[in-house]
Amino acid sequence: MADPELEAIRARRLAELQQQQSGQQRPMAGGASANENNSGEEQRQKQEDMRNAMLSSLLTQEARARLNTISLTKPEKGRMVEDIIIQNARRGAFGGGKVSEEQLIGLLEQVNKVTEKTTKVNFDRRRVALDSDSD
């Protein structure tokens, strides 16, 4: 994905993160383990920022709003749909255009069919000598 706009967003966000990091650097008592935790957290934050930037470039505004609403109510389902959208974009399934709200709704319906939980109720009636059906 050599989209210049996406690269500019990534570069700008990376510069912001570096500026924040340099402003917040304080010596910690934990030494190397504290730096490792900080760098691990920083790495996760960078990945989330890149993910959000990619989703923003792939989705229309209405679709992004709907996906955010779903992610608030059902985080695991929202994450699953985000993963599917990113995978499809990497394969070129969207043809370079943005995903509309209608396309997102179709994708959500497919995910709902796959993750649908079916409930089955079994009645286990125990027979007893005094049961009226035992005649």
Q: How far apart are CA 23 and CA 76, in angstroms?
A: 34
Dmax over Cα atoms in the chain, in whole Å? 86
Q: DSSP letter at 97?
A: S
Would you say residue 134 has pLDDT above 60? no
Amino acid at 52: N
Is pLDDT at 128 greater than 70 in this prediction? no
Q: Which residues of 63-99 are buried (b: 16+ CB within 10 A; e: fewer)?
A: bbebbeebeeeeeeebeebbeebeeebeeeeeeeeeb
Least confident of 6-15, 51-60, 101-110, 123-132: 123-132
State the pLDDT confidence band at 66, using cuts at 50, 70 and 90: very high
What 3-state DSSP class applies to 44?
Answer: helix
The Cα 25–Cα 88 span in angstroms is 39
Across the chain, where does the E strand assignment appear?
Answer: none
Per-residue pLDDT tens over the stretch 37-65 = 778 888 989 888 888 888 888 889 999 99
- Full-model pTM: 0.56
**What are 68-89's pLDDT values in tens digits?**
999 999 999 999 999 998 888 8
| Structure-model confidence comparison of residues 21 and 76, the more confident one | 76
C-alpha atoms less than 13 angstroms from C-alpha of 8 in its C-beta half-sphere: 4
Q: Cβ(58)–Cβ(85) under 8 Å?
A: yes
